């Protein structure tokens, strides 16, 4: 019995979209790219020019409404972070599941809205947290689940990223310069929390009670932007809000460990 490949739609044709296409989708028999979308005509034209000529050509769309009308089975969202919630909800309301790149939301209210719409529509959003599937993370998870490390009672993680690159180049053109100047937050919380949540059995016997986040002053980025003369795209005079180092902390209830017994 033959199975028709899933028809995929991709919105946001930047670096991450190209990585996923080249590494995961290019030679996949169970899925094919049906439509590509970007609001930037130059990126859309680049995608058209570089698309492999030995594959069936996709449809090219300039708006999300146009993309959602092409008959796709699944939407990949690779746009700038502050657009993710709106795009996910619009797709869910059209009955189209979503695979959403980091990060999914900017607030608890936005996350509540995603959950509410999912329950209302029955359409799912899959969060593309790549750090849950790295070789080191999967090795550690298997060691814990097989009992090789005994009972895990404490876990710490760290994600180190040179954020200076986020203020220039492609990310800046997509609005990253504006977003990162305005927000003081852990921009990649699930890169650490995702793998640790699997190890600690979060939502499988354990649950998170509280989350706190602490930021240092913004000094290094301020100095960097002054040195390389990267201007604020909208003339904001408040300086960079994002701290040089942000450290979140989660607390868990005292519970019988469940992660080591999972299949």
- HEC readout, 135-154: HHHHHHHHHHHCCCCCCCCC
pLDDT in tens, 199-232: 988 888 888 888 888 999 888 877 887 787 776 6
Given the DSSP bridges, would you call strands 59-61 and 125-128 parallel, antiparallel or unpaired? unpaired
State residue 103's pLDDT score.
84
Tell me what percent of the residues of the chain surpass a pLDDT of 70: 86
180 or 174, higher pLDDT: 180
Q: What are 256's two structure tokens?
A: 């019988």
Counting every residue, how long is the chain? Answer: 263
How many Å apart are CA 196 and CA 259, to the nearest integer? 11
For residues 35-56, give the mean pLDDT. Answer: 93
Q: What does residue 260 show for φ and ψ, rounded to 5 degrees?
A: -75, -15
pLDDT at 262: 42
Asked whether 33 and 11 are in contact (CB, 8 A), the reply is no
Whether the pLDDT of residue 256 is over 60: the answer is: no
Torsion of CA 219, 221, 222, 227, to 10 degrees: 120
Looking at 102-106, 142-146, 195-199, which range is the least confident one? Answer: 102-106
Return the closest-CA partner of residue 118 out of 141, 140, 95: 95
Using the predicted structure, report yes or no on whether residue 74 has a pLDDT greater than 60. Answer: yes
Q: Summarize pLDDT for 123-172 with one digit per residue, the tens.
A: 999 999 989 988 999 999 999 999 999 988 888 888 887 777 666 665 66
Query: What are the domain boundaries of the chain?
Result: 6-128, 132-261
Lookup: tokens for 50? 């570089």
pLDDT, mean over the chain: 85
DSSP per-residue letters across 171-237 = HHHTTHHHHHHH--S-S-HHHHHHHHHHHHTBTTTB---EEEEEE----HHHHHHHHHT---TT---
Rounded to whole angstroms, the Cα distance separating 165 from 187 reads 14
Cα–Cα dist 241/69, whole Å: 39
Q: Which fold has domain 6-128?
A: Rossmann fold (3.40.50)
pLDDT of amino acid 49: 94
Q: How confident is the model at residue 257 (pLDDT cuts 50, 70, 90)?
A: very low
Q: How confident is the model at residue 235 (pLDDT cuts 50, 70, 90)?
A: low
Specify the fold of 132-261.
Dihydrodipicolinate Reductase; domain 2 (3.30.360)
Q: 246 Cβ partners below 8 Å, 6+ apart?
A: 184, 185, 186, 187, 213, 214, 215, 216
């Amino acid at each position: 019995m033959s199975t028709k490949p899933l028809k995929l739609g991709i919105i946001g044709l930047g670096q991450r979209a190209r990585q996923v296409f080249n590494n995961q989708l290019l030679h996949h028999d169970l899925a094919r790219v049906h439509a590509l979308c970007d609001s930037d005509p130059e990126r859309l034209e680049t995608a058209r020019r570089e698309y492999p000529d030995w594959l069936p050509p996709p449809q090219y769309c300039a708006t999300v409404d146009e993309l959602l009308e092409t008959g796709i089975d699944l939407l990949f969202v690779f746009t700038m972070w502050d657009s993710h919630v709106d795009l996910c909800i619009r797709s869910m309301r059209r009955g189209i599941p979503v695979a959403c790149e980091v990060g999914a939301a900017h607030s608890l209210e936005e996350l509540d809205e995603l959950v509410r719409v999912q329950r209302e529509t029955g359409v799912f959003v899959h969060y593309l947290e790549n750090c849950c599937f790295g070789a080191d993370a999967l090795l550690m998870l298997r060691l814990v689940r097989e009992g090789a490390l005994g009972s895990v009672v404490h876990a710490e993680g760290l994600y180190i990223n040179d954020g200076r690159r986020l203020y220039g180049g492609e990310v800046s053109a997509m609005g990253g310069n504006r977003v990162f100047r305005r927000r003081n937050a852990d921009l990649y919380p699930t890169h650490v929390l995702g793998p640790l949540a699997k190890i600690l059995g979060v939502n499988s016997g354990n649950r998170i009670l509280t989350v706190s986040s602490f930021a240092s002053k913004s000094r290094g980025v301020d100095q960097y932007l002054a040195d390389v003369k990267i201007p604020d795209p909208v003339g904001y005079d408040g300086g960079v809000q994002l701290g040089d180092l942000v450290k979140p902390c989660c607390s868990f209830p005292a519970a019988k460990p469940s992660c080591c017994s999972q299949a």
